[in-house]
Amino acid sequence: MTDKIRSFVAIANPNDQDAAVDVYLTDNAGASTSPVSVTVPAGGQYSAFVADAPISVPSGQARSLSFSASLPVFVSALRYFTNERNDSLLSSIPIADNATVPTQVVVIPDFADGAGWSTKVILVNNTEEQMGGVVQFVGQGTLTEPPPGVLVGTAAGTDTVFEYAIAPRSFFRLETNGALDNLSVGSIYIQPSPGFKTPHAHAIVQQQAGGNTIYQTSFEAQIPSTVLRFYAEGIGDFDAGEPKSSRTAIAIANPSSAAATVRLDLTSFNGSALGTSSPIQIPGYGQTVVFLSQVPGLESVKTPFRGILRLNVAAGTGVTAVSIT
């Protein structure tokens, strides 16, 4: 927490009784505080910046937050970043589900580094056990050439692979410095060491231009899936820089050694078909990122539109993907 970066949490209680939520703060060395109790009224909500009482994350410091509730509740969180022009940029903070902790590799489908772009990787140990492993930055690759490791500069040095060790309930942060002149893109693999579980992971990708941070978004790590759905939109003339225009891109990573083939189906909210892509091939361990308007089969979809993008894996064991709007 700093005067430029603030985290906000909201807890909703759908039950007909008040819910008591105990919150534990843990630093990057694994030291936890005694629990702070928050009461969420029946059918109500609690929301606050985590620097405020009673949670009170110390200013200028980072903590992981662990929750224990007397009744089932819903939790969401946001990251508020105040940039150099005092604009507020918001990105989501994913919430880890302690009931489902994987042991296999998870993949963040997209990252960017260099030419004004940088990426911060955040790993959270949502267990009571030590975690260890590596974070690997991987390029896009081609159908004939395997993807290379991507060199990124960090406070821990310049490399393609970085080791992590995380105490129970604690966290690990790795931030690229974006110092390279050329833009590198690809995916990030979080590989646990044998016998260890996998931390919950997400990345914050940001862009700077003219000394100002103009864009931030977050991507959550995933295990491979064969069917995925996303919100998608196309509004205004994005290519011409029309104010308030937008268009959706999709990043797809293939964590298998064999190439994967996917198809994209775009439908409106009422279920009518807007377009279907030609087959898209993703190299083994590779990645692609593309605007929907550049995908063969979807380039003729007329704007404005808002709808659902469905990704189907036609060949392969599964992919990870995110939509970017």
199 and 128 in a single domain? The answer is: yes
Mean pLDDT in residue range 53-57: 93
Evaluate whether residue 88 is within a structural domain. Answer: no
Q: Is residue 2 pLDDT above 70, yes or no?
A: no
- CATH, residue 30: 2.60.290.11
Q: What's the number of domains the chain is made of?
A: 3
Instruction: Tell me what the pLDDT averaged over the chain comes to.
Output: 95
DSSP 261-312: EEEEEEEETTS-EEEEPPPEEE-TT-EEEEEGGGSTTTTTPPSSEEEEEEEE
Q: Is residue 20 pLDDT above 70, yes or no?
A: yes
The percentage of residues in the chain with a pLDDT greater than 70, rounded to a whole number, is 99
Evaluate whether residue 92 is within a structural domain. Answer: no
- CATH, residue 190: 2.60.290
Question: pLDDT at position 13, please?
Answer: 98
119 and 76 in a single domain? The answer is: no
Model confidence at 76, pLDDT cuts 50, 70, 90, reads very high
Domain, as residue range, for 136? 106-220
Query: Contact, 8 vs 47, CB < 8 A?
Result: yes
Q: Is residue 99 pLDDT above 90, yes or no?
A: no
Q: Which domain-ending residue is among 162, 195, 220?
A: 220
Around Cβ 112, how many Cβ atoms within 10 Å?
A: 22
Q: Is 213 helix (H, G, I), strand (E, B) or coil?
A: strand
Question: pLDDT at position 188, please?
Answer: 99
